[in-house]
Chains A and B, each alone.
Chain A
Amino acid sequence: MGTIAFRRKAADRVMKWLFVLCALLVILPLFLILFDLLIKGGKELKLTLLTDLPHPVGEPGGGIANGIVGTLVITLLTMLWSVPTAVLCGIYLAEYGRGKFASAVRFAADTMTGVPSIIMGIFGYILLVLPMKRFSAWAGAAALSMIFIPVVVRTTEEMLRTVPTTVREAALALGIARWKTTLRITVRTAWPGILTGILLAMSRIIGETAPLLFTALGNQFWQTRLDQPMAAVPLQVFTYAISPYEDWHDKAWAGAIVLITMVLLINIAARVLTREKR
């Protein structure tokens, strides 16, 4: 065996292990976080965490039930108008968008993706909280929409672009009108990717804290009216974490576990519900 062949094989092996090492480095933080959360939040992880309202400082027990409901309400509210808007806008960019207007929309969406989320909170505060003269779930959902929509617009567009032109041509050649070709053939073909984009964006907004600080504000009590300040798990985690009380710190860790579990469950549920029926 010549030295060149030996060197080639050695280089091959070194590179392969380098790739594997980087893959391990990527997943390492996730496991460290999960491990840390379970150690520190484990003792507060009781059923009452999910069923009870927060208790005052010093009083043992209490939960974040209002925050869990609040997070679900605000997230659903956000998605209610953001999913159709973002997906339809993505369709516009992929299927119709040529020229300056489309480029401007694309540029705006990319820019918005990079804007720090607290800016969205301040914007929601100026746009909705000040005129309405109160913090509200509406304002929280509006702030989160500004994070959600640009991400989903771009992923939807990218996913539709992966659909081969031949698929669109086949549909048009059958005498199917263009809008039906787009919605019933092209979007259907790209749907798993579009859904993944929606779920990733949703996971992101469920955990957002900064945009809610100035909009939904948070609440220690039950509140399901959308025009009132509403609790949310990340806000409660934030409040507990910056407090000086030991038992609140433990609850912050437990709240973080709840938050991660919620994201996981919603992801799994959406996957199961939209699985291809055969």
Chain B
Amino acid sequence: MGNVFEIHDLSGWFGENQVLKKIRMDIGKNSVTSVMGPSGCGKSTFIRCLNRMHDMTPGFRMSGEILLDGTNIHSEKIDPVYLRRRVGMVFQQPNPFPRMSVFENVAVGLKLNGKTHSRGDIAGRVERSLVMAALWNEVKDNLALPGTSLSGGQQQRLCIARALAVEPEVLLMDEPCSALDPMSTAKIEELIEDLSGKYTIVVVTHNMQQAARISDQVAFFLMGELIEMDKSGKIFTNPSDKRTEEYITGRFG
């Protein structure tokens, strides 16, 4: 299994404030990687580098290299629009498009990504995506309802379906459960397990139990530095770095 992402000495700044310090990380194909750490440690900033969401953020700059299948994502060969089709993203707050139905929310990426799809093709992909996001049975009779009329947990699964519809290779999830109740959280975790093996998934999370349950490997961030990254079994039972141990045992953070 090769690496999807290889990250070399990634540093990032908001203005003068350095928020990422020489991060080195490899992310294996079709694995689930959790990124955890206390608030403000640079987790979200880090995964937003992976699909170049910072391009629009005034005052952000970065150094180092991020290779996707061996190609630097900032090279001229890679258009950020195409990069984001390969590297999808799910956000912290469920953010279905207002004024669009459940169906349109999932279909819109296909309709606006420049390729032409027949109507039947789009309907098929919308259904498959909703099935994969474990939402189909709950919404199949209400596809014309506004996406925002669903519950918070359903909205988040709708956003996952929306991201899956454009068939990305990688799915970035920025604390996808932090706005959800425990039942919805359990569903999303189950979903992540189902999707692993087919997609490369990077999840930012505050929740250590969650990281332990869902991930193959865990990265621990502290003050913009990657302290330690290892198999999730190892990091929770026998971490190499004292700071990781202190965080896991609840002594800070």
Contact = CB atoms under 8 A, between A and B. Distances in A.
Interface of A: 98, 164, 166-167, 169-178, 180-181, 184-185, 188-189, 191, 276, 278
A276 B81 contact: no
B88 A174 contact: yes
Interface of B: 51, 53, 56, 58, 81-86, 88-89, 91, 93, 95-100, 108-109, 112-114, 144, 159, 162-163, 166
B97 A173 contact: no
Contacts of B162: 170, 174
B131 to A, nearest CB: 19
B247 to A, nearest CB: 29
A185 B91 contact: no
Prevailing SS type, chain A contact patch: helix
Q: Most B CB atoms within 10 A — which of A176, A181, A184, A191? A: A176
21 contacts: A164-B95, A166-B91, A166-B93, A166-B95, A170-B162, A172-B56, A173-B91, A174-B112, A174-B166, A175-B81, A175-B85, A176-B112, A177-B81, A177-B112, A177-B114, A185-B97, A189-B97, A189-B98, A189-B99, A276-B99, A278-B144
A276 B56 CA distance: 31
A162 to B, nearest CB: 11
A174 B165 CA distance: 9
Nearest to B84: A175
A2 B97 CA distance: 51
A174 B114 contact: no
Contacts of A175: 81-86, 88, 109, 113, 166
A184 B159 CA distance: 18
Contacts, number: 75
Contact of B97 (A170, A177, A180, A278): A170
Given A98-B58, A169-B53, A189-B98, A174 B91 contact: no
Given A166-B91, A180-B112, A278-B144, A174 B98 contact: no
B99 A174 contact: no
Nearest to B86: A175
Nearest to B96: A170
Contacts of A172: 53, 56, 84
B112 A173 contact: no
B53 A174 contact: no
A110 to B, nearest CB: 24
Nearest to A188: B99
A140 to B, nearest CB: 36
B88 A176 contact: no
A138 to B, nearest CB: 37
Contact of A170 (B82, B95, B113): B95
A181 B114 CA distance: 12
Contacts of A189: 97-99
Nearest to A172: B84
Contacts of B93: 166
Contacts of A98: 58
A166 B86 CA distance: 20
Given A167-B95, A171-B97, A172-B56, 7 more contacts: A166-B91, A166-B95, A169-B95, A172-B53, A174-B85, A176-B81, A184-B108
Contact of B53 (A173, A191, A278): A173
Contacts of B82: 175
A174 B104 CA distance: 13
A278 to B, nearest CB: 7
A208 B171 CA distance: 56
Q: Sorted from nearest, which 10 A-B pairs have the closest CB atoms? A: A175-B85, A173-B89, A174-B109, A175-B84, A166-B95, A176-B112, A170-B95, A180-B112, A177-B81, A189-B98
Contacts of A167: 95, 97-98
